[in-house]
Structure 1
């Protein structure tokens, strides 16, 4: 079977084992169904996920012009504490930013290799945890806007990491932790403005990924440097395809790449 289209991050469904889907303009692949099959990836060209221009993509699948100007790629995305919509102050487009920022946000703990703190919109739970390859996660606070979530994350990351060790995540070099206990340890560091939003009784969520074989060592596939690759697909975790030879392909990092895929 041969497929062609522009890569975007895989869609996911949380079931007993996470289900993954690669969605193209005219077709899709249920990626779980091609585990243990030989898959080739052939890079054809770039296409901006927003303007559809055939320009080299800069970040998140956007060309430089779109990344520099669109409200959905503003600095408040990467640094939630810089959100200003609750003050009525625009970054790039106040209407868009009010809709995106003035909605419930979750500050959470996720364990992909070790415990880390993060922020996401409530509507992105559990998708955000799946995308990070977390095998367990728990909510800390649910706040009404992105700014409160951002200042909470800033306060907590003085005491716990805000990064995922992706190599350890992919090799399954992980710790099993009691996230309810970890959350309780951090309670005193929550800023005063967010303390009333602490979630006392939430239980942790466990996530199982479809991996037949974890690599001992990981080597990453970058289609800009190596435009063709072929290997046997052995697993999917986070937004990575994991191959038998230890190659890991980060689908999300290749948004905006037009590829030809062939399942053999």
Structure 2
């Protein structure tokens, strides 16, 4: 059976283990059902997630012209502290920015390759943690807008990491941490504007991924360069497909590519 469509980040269902779905325009694949099956991936073309044209993808699934124009790719997406909707100030599209920025946001700790701090909309918990391949996570602050979450993250970055080592995450070369203790340790570094939003009492969320075999030396697949790849799927973690030969394919990093996927 062959499926074809433009890649977008896999949708997930919080269960034990996580259920993964690769969703195309007219079809979807439950990736958990493909474990231990042989899969062929063929690069077909580009399709910008904004304009839909067959133009080289620049970043985040968008062509270069869209990336520098649309609100979905503005700087405040990656740097929440740059949010200005709470001041009624427009960056690219104030209506869109108010819709996204002026809603509850969570500052969290997640352990994927190490303990890191991050920001997400409350509606994206626990999806954000799953996408990062975190096996445990905890909310530490819930604020009413993206700006407050951003300045809190910036303040905590001086005392805890904010990046995930994707190789360590995929190799599962990780250890459990007491995130409640981490939360208490970082409490004093929260900015004054956000101190009243500290979450005093909660517990870790634990996440199990559908992986039969972790790679010893992960090798990233560049499907544009090689045009085609065939391998046996042995796991899914974060937004990565893991294959038996240690090849890994980052779906999120390849958004905007149209591929044909055949299952044997």
Same fold (TM over 0.5): yes
Partner of 2:201: 201
RMSD: 0.6
Partner of 1:28: 28
Partner of 2:142: 142
2:150 aligned counterpart, secondary structure: helix
- In the comparison of the two structures, how many residue pairs are matched? 264
2:43 aligned counterpart, secondary structure: strand
C-alpha distance in 2, partners of 1:111/1:262?
34
Partner of 2:78: 78
**Unaligned residue ranges in structure 1 (runs of 5+):** none
- Residues 1:61 and 2:56 aligned together: no
Q: CA deviation digits over 1:192-248, x for unaligned, max 9?
A: 000000001111100000000001111000112211110000000000000000000
C-alpha distance in 1, partners of 2:175/2:160?
15
Partner of 1:178: 178
Partner of 1:128: 128
Q: CA deviation digits over 1:72-118, x for unaligned, max 9?
A: 11100010000011111110011110111010000000000110000
TM-score w.r.t. the length of structure 1 is 0.99
Partner of 2:51: 51
2:134 aligned counterpart, secondary structure: coil
1:168 aligned counterpart, secondary structure: helix
Partner of 2:167: 167
Partner of 2:14: 14
Partner of 2:230: 230
1:22 aligned counterpart, secondary structure: strand
Partner of 2:94: 94
2:96 aligned counterpart, secondary structure: helix
C-alpha distance in 2, partners of 1:191/1:40?
50
Q: CA deviation digits over 1:17-64, x for unaligned, max 9?
A: 100000011111000000000001000100011111111111111111
1:195 aligned counterpart, secondary structure: helix
